[in-house]
Homo-oligomer: A and B are copies of this chain.
């Protein structure tokens, strides 16, 4: 089963917590045991799993990631967003999460974040549910 989630961002670089929306897809699938696969079909965005208890965590992650890029004016890509492409590759565009007892099997403090690094944009996250026999 495949589903497409529309995710919009409002800032240049932003993390959006999509955990609940993915959880809804898992529940609607009726799969009790298996995997939930996520894929972002964009090249300036990515996916990661991290803490969502303190909003300073995704903020600090954006700070730390942006600082990794250094002076972005040294990049040559004509669109000027090479740094966003690099952050997409550093986080990756796919995730595999277990499904157990009909729910996403995440740790207590884990949330699924969609990160956009060249927004604001209207984007997609693809979700696929694979059940185990």
Q: Mark A98-119, 1 if CB is under 8 A from B, else 0.
A: 1010000111111000000000
List residues of A (32-79) whose CB comes within 8 Å of B's CBs.
35, 37, 39-43, 48-51, 54, 56-57, 59-61, 63-65, 67-70, 74-79
Question: Which secondary structure dominates chain A's binding surface?
Answer: mixed
Copies of this chain, tallied across the complex: 3
Across-interface contacts of A50 in B (CB, < 8 A): 43, 85, 88-89
Bound-state CA distance A18–B132 (Å) is 25
Seen from chain A, the residues whose Cβ lies within 8 Å of a Cβ on chain B are 2, 35, 37, 39-43, 48-51, 54, 56-57, 59-61, 63-65, 67-70, 74-79, 82-83, 85-86, 88-98, 100, 105-110, 126, 128, 130, 132
